[in-house]
Every structure is written in C-alpha cells, then in structure tokens.
C-alpha cells in the first residue's frame, strides 16, 4: 500500500500519501513508515486497487479502428484484477463486487462510448528532488496521462471516495499540484487536471500554474524538514529505550 522512495543519507523520501498521513495521524505514520508495521487489508482499499488496475489495463488498449474497446473487455479486466482481501464476510465482498461492476458500467456509458482515447501513459512513475535546497525526493504514480487530439495533455486521477469533492477542494488538492509539477519537470505542460469520482460518474477539473509550484516547493520544504527531524528524534528514542510504545 505504501511505496517507499530510496533515501540517501540526509534525504527524505516523500509521497503525497506519506505527507498526508504524517499531518493527519502522526501515530499511524510512525507505525507505517518508521516502524514498518504492515497495514491490515480493508475492503475499501481492495476495491480501490481493483478499479485502478482494471482501468490502467483498459486504457492501454489501442483498438485497430477508431471504435472504443467493448464494455465486456473492461468487465473482464475487472474480474481479472479483483482483489479478494480485507472484506469482513463473503456477503460484503459480493456487495463490493456488484457495486464496483456497476460503477464501471456507468463510467463506460458516460466517459468511454464515443470518447475513448488510449492513455499516453498509465501509472507514470516519477522520482524528483524537491524542497528549498532540493534536499528531499518526491515520488509518485500518476493514474493516467491523456494526450488529446489537439495535442494538449491532461492528468486524470481515479477516486473511489464515498463523496464527490467540491470545486474548491479540487482546486486546492495537493496531490494534483504534485502531479502537475512532476510532468512539468519532464517537459510536459498539462492543460488541465481532473479527479474522476468512479462511484458517482463525475469528473471535477482544475488547472495549475507556476505559482502553485512555488507554493508547493515552500510547503514541502517546511513539512519535510519537520518530518525528518521528528523521525530522527523518534529513532534515537527507540534505540535508547527499546521498541515500547
């Protein structure tokens, strides 16, 4: 669930999920990233990973003609990618399975029919220096990069959240700023970015600019330095007093 960047001496490996966990729940952050305690599987995570994996494979398909791949192909990929872990009962798993299948059917009808464009890239990995003195490294995987017929690029990120975020929330979404920054560093200027809320068949679009990158750089430098110092302090205490909580 949590990928860890290579961390040379004195350099903090960062990701959006890692920073979010540190800010929202320091204890859970400590368990996951410092103590490296495994995270118990949960149905919510499993259905999210299943949907992501199925759509990743689906958007790699390049039809011989201009027609989109059939719905059956997407549903077959859904079955092949199904993760049967973290559900509290067979009944709960079946409910998640049926719900997820319907989400994809609705998604296909609204966003694929007559609109299909193979992905420019899926699960695009980046690992780039960041922070005031570029002393840290940010890693991530971008769900889908799309190159439109007019040559413009957009980033699309899948969410299986139980609610649709507001326009303001998407405009302020740090994860999308990180993705925009990462592709700009790779020489790709992104015209727009969107969060796709799979449960609801909704896409909320936003844009980013150089000003957002400047804010991100300063923010990451501040948070990463604090994460680094807190981590060093915790590991020293752990070495001195043992593994007790």
Mind listing the pLDDT tens digit for each residue in 181-207? 999 999 999 999 999 999 999 999 999
Mean pLDDT, rounded, for 98-102 = 98
CA distances from 49 to 33, 53, 68, 100, 178 (A): 20, 6, 23, 11, 21
Question: Does residue 39 have a pLDDT over 80?
Answer: no
- The pLDDT-based confidence of 10 (bands split at 50, 70, 90) is low
Span of 48-52, 114-118, 126-130 with lowest mean pLDDT: 126-130
Give the pLDDT of residue 30.
86
The number of angstroms, rounded, from the C-alpha of 99 to the middle of its chain's C-alpha atoms is 21
**C-alpha distance across the termini of the chain, in Å:** 23
pTM of the prediction?
0.87
5 confidence band (pLDDT: 50, 70, 90) = very low
pLDDT band at 29 (very low <50, low <70, confident <90, very high): confident
Give the long-range contacts of residues 33-40, CB within 8 A, separation 24 or more: 33/2, 33/4, 33/231, 34/231, 34/234, 34/235, 34/238, 35/243, 39/1, 39/2, 40/86
Q: Is residue 70 classed as helix, strand or coil in its secondary structure?
A: coil
What number of other Cβ atoms are within 10 A of residue 200's Cβ? 15
Q: Which residues pair with 203 in a beta bridge?
A: 196
Nearest-angstrom CA–CA distance, 86 and 120: 32
Q: 190-197 and 153-159: which strand pairing?
A: parallel
Quote the crossing angle between the two packed helices 71-81 and 90-107, to the nearest 10°: 150
In this prediction, residue 7 carries a pLDDT of 57
Q: Up-side HSE of residue 209: CA atoms within 13 Å toward CB?
A: 1
pLDDT for the residue 1:
34
């Amino acid at each position: 669930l949590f990928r860890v960047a290579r961390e040379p001496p004195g350099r903090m490996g960062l990701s959006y999920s890692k920073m979010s966990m540190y800010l929202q729940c320091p204890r859970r952050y400590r368990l996951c990233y410092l103590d490296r305690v495994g995270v118990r599987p949960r149905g919510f995570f499993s259905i999210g990973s299943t949907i992501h994996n199925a759509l990743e494979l689906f958007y790699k398909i390049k039809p011989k003609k201009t027609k989109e791949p059939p719905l059956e192909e997407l549903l077959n990929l859904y079955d092949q990618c199904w993760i049967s872990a973290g559900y509290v009962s067979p009944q709960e798993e079946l409910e998640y399975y049926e719900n997820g299948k319907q989400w994809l059917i609705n998604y296909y009808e609204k966003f694929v029919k007559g609109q299909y464009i193979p992905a420019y890239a899926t699960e695009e990995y980046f690992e780039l220096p960041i922070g005031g003195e570029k002393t840290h490294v940010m890693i991530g995987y971008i769900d889908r990069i799309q190159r439109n017929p007019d040559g413009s690029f957009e980033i699309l990120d899948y969410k299986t959240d139980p609610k649709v975020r507001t326009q303001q929330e998407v405009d302020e979404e740090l994860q999308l700023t990180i993705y925009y920054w990462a592709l700009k560093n790779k020489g790709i200027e992104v015209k727009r970015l969107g969060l796709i809320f799979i449960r609801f068949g909704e896409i909320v679009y936003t844009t980013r600019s150089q000003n957002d990158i400047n804010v991100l750089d300063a923010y990451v430098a501040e948070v990463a330095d604090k994460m680094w110092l807190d981590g060093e302090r915790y590991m020293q205490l752990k070495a001195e007093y043992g593994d007790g909580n």
